[in-house]
Amino acid sequence: MAKEESGKASWDALRDEQERLADVAIVELFNDDNERARDFSLEAAGLYLDYSKNHISRLALQQLLALAQHCELPAKIEGLLQGERINRTEDRAVLHTALRDRSGRQVITDGEDACALATRERDRMLAFVDDVHRGRRVGATGKPLTTVVNIGIGGSDLGPVMVVEALRPYWIDGRRSFFVSNVDGQHLADALEQLDGETTLFIVASKTFTTQETMTNAHSALDWFLANGGTHEGVQNHFVALSTNAAAVQAFGIAPESTFGFWDWVGGRYSLWSSIGLSIALQVGAANFLALLDGAFAMDEHFREAQLAQNMPVLLALVGVWNRNLEDIAVHAILPYDQHLHRLPAYLQQADMESNGKSVCLSGQWSSLHTGPVIFGEAGTNGQHAFYQLLHQGTDVVSCDFIGAVNSQSELGDHHAKLLANLLAQPRALMCGKSLEVVKEELATEGVDPAVIDALAPHKVFDGNRPSNTILMERLTPETLGALIALYEHKIFVQGVIWGVNSFDQWGVELGKQLASEILPRLTSSKGSDYPALDPSTEQLLDWINRRR
Ligand code: G6Q
């Protein structure tokens, strides 16, 4: 069969199976199959994934695996890990996996070994971390640099802040970190208010070193430093840069010794493993940073070696494809039952939506398939008292990932048992629901008046049959966190392969930037009429603003 035809046949078979399942509830799939819970779950790299509570059959899973083969997934995985230039629209390799490969393996790209390059730069960075921690690298007045301000945005912010928050129990005593990303001056001002210039290290984290927000914040931080007792010579003690653009860093005034580099084969949203992780290493120490890399590496090795049918990122991705393309679910919730993972939804929102929120395939053709879903989320149990109403009874079905650790990072009374009970109850409630009959019985048992029962009962019905995955780990540690992040990175990659999109570019963020630069002079210059007219709505908004500025 020709390739295109077999692809169509794969999707046709999946659609047939979805139709067959339309009237079969998830709970019925369990009733008919005693081994379902066991077979639709697996362990890898310290994580346990249960995907049995999806509206998916064994046959559908086989068909999805056949689709993955049709899309040449094993060769694509190899291509990713071997450094092929799979980011074709930017002509780059995609080698975040090389950043955490400390096995001695070589991955050659552009004639150089990416693992060796990564090791060299990481060693420099961790030596710097050690110097700061041991007081060999101090502020201009000789005081220890105990406070870090990471100035970066998007991929140069979301990963580091998420990891630093997640690893709170591993923080080194007496150290503080701030993360400033927004061009809204209030973000920087709020941090500056709490700083002592003599003990602060500013990290300017920007791959390109041209990003409007980061450069604006970096210049304002520099001005603040100089206005608050800092000297031009002292800048070298208090500012470091993380960037691939050495020339721009030097032009800013940061010396090469204080610059930690990376390479164009590290995408922004995949960069926390590179020098961009400096703020992490400063806050939790070099050993914990390396443990984070090792956890991710363990998942990389599993992804590389496991058969597709036993491959955790592959299965998570394929179940996601089923939910998105066959069940037509457009929204996916990330629900960590762990307060320290409260920034994980925001992190994965970028990782997933910037990677797979695309309409054009690598072929240049418009996609005939829906691609990445909307990702949102919140830590449990907080979300339960906010948006779970819609998850349980809304007219749209939202697929969910429930994530939690068996043991808390801070055991306190029976808090953790209660947290886990909620973590288990929610996916069960979403799947099982509650029928009208049961609702009426319950109300009757409570002695509610029959007329009230009839009026109230429909509102208390849960139709159930709403899909979810559960991801567990024994404890949230640097290793399990690394594995969890890598799990999602690879899931996103696999889905990109199935959908045929380039998961590693982000052209969709460009237009807004371009238009903002056209509008900026209209807000900062009095000669507004010299500029070409914008659309009537924007003109009107500008006018409203300018009359009040
Ligand atoms: C991530 C994106 C984007 C990027 C930011 C910051 O994959 O490319 O979020 O990380 O725009 O870019 P710089 O690091 O170049 O400042």
pLDDT at 196: 97
pLDDT at 527: 57
Whether residue 525 contacts residue 506, with contact meaning beta carbons closer than 8 Å, is answered with: no
With residue 428 as reference, give the H or E element that holds it: helix 415-432
Whether residue 543 contacts residue 535, with contact meaning beta carbons closer than 8 Å, is answered with: no
**How far apart are the CA of 269 and the centre of ligand 1, in A?**
7
Q: Which of 236, 214, 215 is nearest to 225 (CA)?
A: 236
In this structure, the number of other CB atoms found within 10 A of the CB of residue 527 comes to 8
Q: Which two tokens stand for residue 454?
A: 């009839």
Q: Which of 379, 375, 419 is nearest to 166 (CA)?
A: 379
Q: Is 247 exposed, middle or buried (0-12, 13-18, 19+ CB in 10 A)?
A: exposed
User: How far is residue 217 CA from its own chain's centroid?
Assistant: 24
* 273 CB-side CA count, 13 A: 31
**How far apart are the CA of 154 and the centre of ligand 1, in A?**
5
18 pocket-lining for ligand 1 (C-beta < 6 Å): no
d(CA 542, CA 66): 54
159 pocket-lining for ligand 1 (C-beta < 6 Å): no
* 10 CB-side CA count, 13 A: 22
409: DSSP letter: S
Angle, helices 286-305/114-133, rounded to nearest 10 degrees: 160
274 pocket-lining for ligand 1 (C-beta < 6 Å): no
pLDDT at 304: 98
pLDDT at 188: 98
Cα dist from 260 to 102, 203, 287, 369, whole Å: 19, 10, 19, 41
**How far apart are the CA of 153 and the centre of ligand 1, in A?**
6
Ligand 1 pocket test, pick from 153, 162, 271, 509 with the greatest ligand atom count within 8 Å of Cβ, gives 153
From first to last of its 549 residues, what are the pLDDT tens digits of the chain?
567 777 889 999 999 999 999 999 999 999 989 999 999 999 999 999 999 999 999 999 999 999 999 999 999 999 999 999 999 999 999 999 999 999 999 999 999 999 999 999 999 999 999 999 999 999 999 999 999 999 999 999 999 999 999 999 999 999 999 999 999 999 999 999 999 999 999 999 999 999 999 999 999 999 999 999 999 999 999 999 999 999 999 999 999 999 999 999 999 999 999 999 999 999 999 999 999 999 999 999 999 999 999 999 999 999 999 999 999 999 999 999 999 999 999 999 999 999 999 999 999 999 999 999 999 999 999 999 999 999 999 999 999 999 999 999 888 999 999 999 999 999 999 999 999 999 999 999 999 999 999 999 999 999 999 999 999 999 999 999 999 999 999 999 999 999 999 999 999 999 999 999 999 999 987 655 678 889 999 999 999 999 998
pLDDT at 526: 65
Q: Which two tokens stand for residue 484?
A: 């969890």
φ/ψ of residue 42, rounded to 5: -165, 165
Tell me whether residue 513 is one of the annotated catalytic residues: yes
Extract the runs of DSSP E, i.e. beta strands, from 238-287. Answer: 239-243, 259-261
**How far apart are the CA of 102 and the centre of ligand 1, in A?**
26
**How far apart are the CA of 163 and the centre of ligand 1, in A?**
17
Q: Which two tokens stand for residue 89?
A: 């629209």
Residue whose CA is at the smallest distance from ligand 1 atom 9:
154
**Coil, strand or helix at 117:** helix
For CA atoms 510, 511, 512, 516, the dihedral sign is positive
pLDDT at 529: 61
Ligand 1 pocket test, pick from 94, 180, 208, 505 with the greatest ligand atom count within 8 Å of Cβ, gives 208
Angle, helices 58-70/312-321, rounded to nearest 10 degrees: 100
pLDDT at 524: 86
**Coil, strand or helix at 231:** coil
Q: Which atom of ligand 1 is nearest to the CA of 208?
A: 15
Q: Which atom of ligand 1 is nearest to the CA of 213?
A: 16
